[in-house]
Amino acid sequence: MTGTMLYYLSNANLPGKKAHTIQQMKMCQAFASCGEEVCFVHPSHGTSETIQWETLADYYGLETRFRIETLPSLQSRPDVPDKVGLLTMTGTLTGWLLKESSTGRLGEDDILYSRNYYPTFAFSELRSILPQNRRPTTVLEHHDIISAYGKERFFRSVDGVVCITEALKEYDLATYDVTDPFVAPDGVDLTPYAGLSKKFARRQLDIPADETVVAYTGHLYPGKGGQVLAAAADRIDATVYVVGGYPADVERVKTTVEPADNVVLTGFVDPSDIPLYQVAADILVAPYTRSARDYISPLKLFEYMAAGRPIVASDLSVLKEVLTDGENALLAEPGDSDALAEAVTRVLSDTDLAQQLSATVSEQVRQYTWRRRAERILSYVQDLR
């Protein structure tokens, strides 16, 4: 679908350490690589700095350029109450959308693709005053339960909904007046993994070539499970890398778990360096606990697949939308460090199983690229028209 402008509406603070910023940047690049003219629209979060493309390209590993529109907002300023910041963000972005529509730069041939609830809701309510030829196709990308005001009306007002999991689609169908949401799991950019060898990755990270490495990459928020892997490490015959996490979260893990000597806590790592740690590993672990959100589609899952390493993950129904026990992963009881250590040890001791799991994910990951996801979403949007 070409000849249109795709406005990607976000509330992201860039560049950022959170996974949702990676997802949004990669999706904008993927839409652009499909031939769409992409404009990423987001608030300034209280700063006066203009986000430079080169900064984002270097930080997120982007290659396909797209336009970035940073709008002034008081959101996230420490001297401004949260509600005031939210109101300024909503007003600024909604006003900008109305201006673009009233001047004809945003029209019925264009797409408003959003992960920013409030301005999208406000614009959807106000677009009825615009001529038909000034109303873009409006699509919400839905990642979690929305608790905000007016959500029932909002879901009726948008043209389409993209859910990241089947579980979230079923929730939306049971809760809102919405017609058949489209399911598009998250994805991965295969480019950073192409031609990246374990030998090279370990050399870059100063990891001995003969060391057995089990790794987790990601934040250390409650529910993510990095702490569970750290607790299981004393029963794993390997060096256990827990890669990522803010300093306060790393200290919390150290205090609550008192990790064994074979645990390496790296703290935050730039997104562009994450593939090195993943490819350097012998096994990659996604040990989510039952307190994890019920509708997650973790980026790390697809990154692990791209790295081509055996995966050990938690036995959660939402993860089983992608993973099958014994086929492309081993699944363990969530939050159980004994079960996790047992599953990791099984893969370490069974070369045939490890090779089978690796081969399967290496083949399956091709259906989960950001480019493939963008193509499927654009096809869905075309059908909405």
Examine the domain organization and report whether 14 and 127 are in the same domain: yes
- Determine how many CB atoms are found less than 10 A away from the CB of residue 78: 5
Which tops the pLDDT comparison, 36 or 147? Answer: 36
Q: Same structural domain for residues 205 and 218?
A: yes
Residue 24 Cα distances to 7, 21, 37, 60, angstroms: 12, 5, 15, 10
Residue 1 has pLDDT above 60, yes or no: no
CATH code (residue 250): 3.40.50.2000
In angstroms, the CA 117 to CA 98 distance is 16
For the sheet with 5-9, list strands across it: 67-71, 37-43, 5-9, 111-114, 137-142, 160-163, 182-183
- The length of the chain, given as a count of residues: 385
151 and 46 Cβ atoms separated by less than 8 Å? no
Average per-residue pLDDT in the chain? 91
Q: Cis bond leading into 259, ω under 30°?
A: no
Whether 145 and 273 map to the same domain: the answer is no
pLDDT in tens, 244-253: 999 999 999 9
309 and 261 share a domain? yes
Strand bridging mode 182-183 / 160-163: parallel
Sheet holding 283-286, edge to edge: 263-267, 239-243, 213-217, 283-286, 311-314, 330-332
- Kindly tell me if the per-residue pLDDT of 359 is higher than 60: yes
- Residues 163 and 43 occupy one common structural domain: yes
pLDDT for the residue 344: 98
Q: Give me the pLDDT at residue 244, please.
A: 95
DSSP H helical ranges for 217-314 = 226-232, 247-257, 274-280, 299-307
How many angstroms separate the Cα of 374 from the Cα of each of 21, 23, 370? Answer: 16, 12, 6
Both 211 and 126 in one domain: the answer is no
Residue 379 burial (CB count, 10 A): 11
- 220 vs 224: CA distance, rounded Å: 6
pLDDT at 272 over 60: yes
Max Cα-Cα span within the chain: 67
Query: Which residue type sits at 353?
Result: L
Mean pLDDT of 338-348: 98
Within the chain, residue ranges assigned H as helices are 19-33, 53-60, 82-102, 117-126, 151-157, 166-175, 198-205, 226-232, 247-257, 274-280, 299-307, 337-349, 351-364, 370-384
206 Rama class: left (phi>0) / alpha (psi -120 to 50) / beta = left
The answer to whether residue 2 scores a pLDDT higher than 70 is no
Instruction: Return the pLDDT at 48.
Output: 62
Position 270 pLDDT exceeds 60: yes
Q: Say yes or no: 290 and 343 in one domain.
A: yes
Average pLDDT on 301-328 reads: 97
Q: In sequence order, what are the residues at sequence separation of 6 or more whose Cβ sits closer than 8 angstroms to the Cβ of residue 262?
A: 233, 234, 236, 238, 239, 240
**Does residue 232 sit in the same domain as residue 129?**
no
- In eight-state DSSP terms, residue 142 is E
Would you tell me how many other CB atoms lie within 10 Å of the CB of residue 377? 23
Residue 334: the pLDDT is 95
pLDDT digits (tens, 9 = 90+) for 91-131: 888 888 888 888 888 899 999 999 888 888 888 888 888 88
Tell me, yes or no, whether 157 and 201 share the same domain.
Answer: no
3-class secondary structure, 265? strand
- The tens digit of pLDDT for each residue in 168-208 reads 999 999 998 888 899 999 999 999 999 999 999 999 999 99
Give pLDDT, residue 231. Answer: 95
Same domain, 330 and 205: yes
Residue pair 355/337 in contact (Cβ under 8 Å)? The answer is no
Count of other CB atoms within 10 angstroms of residue 76: 17
Give 69's strand partners.
41
Structural domains in the chain (count): 2
* pLDDT reading at 139 higher than 60: yes
48 DSSP assignment:
-
172 and 201 together in one domain: no
CA dist 66 → 52, 58, 72, 242 (Å) = 11, 14, 20, 34
Judge if 334 and 277 occupy the same domain. yes
Mean pLDDT of 275-291: 96
- Confidence band for 362, pLDDT divided at 50, 70 and 90: very high
Q: How confident is the model at residue 157 (pLDDT cuts 50, 70, 90)?
A: confident
Model confidence at 255, pLDDT cuts 50, 70, 90, reads very high
> Which residue range(s) make up the domain with 179?
5-187+369-384
- Shortest CA distance to 46 belongs to which of 17, 5, 75, 3? 75
pLDDT at residue 148, as a whole number = 63
Q: Could you give the dihedral angle defined by the CA atoms of residues 248, 253, 258 and 261, in that order, rounded to the nearest 10 degrees? A: -100
Burial of 6: CB neighbours in 10 Å, binned 0-12, 13-18, 19+: buried
| In contact, 241 and 213? CB cutoff 8 Å | yes
- Residue 172, SS3? helix
| pLDDT at residue 341 in the model | 98
Strand partners, 311: 284
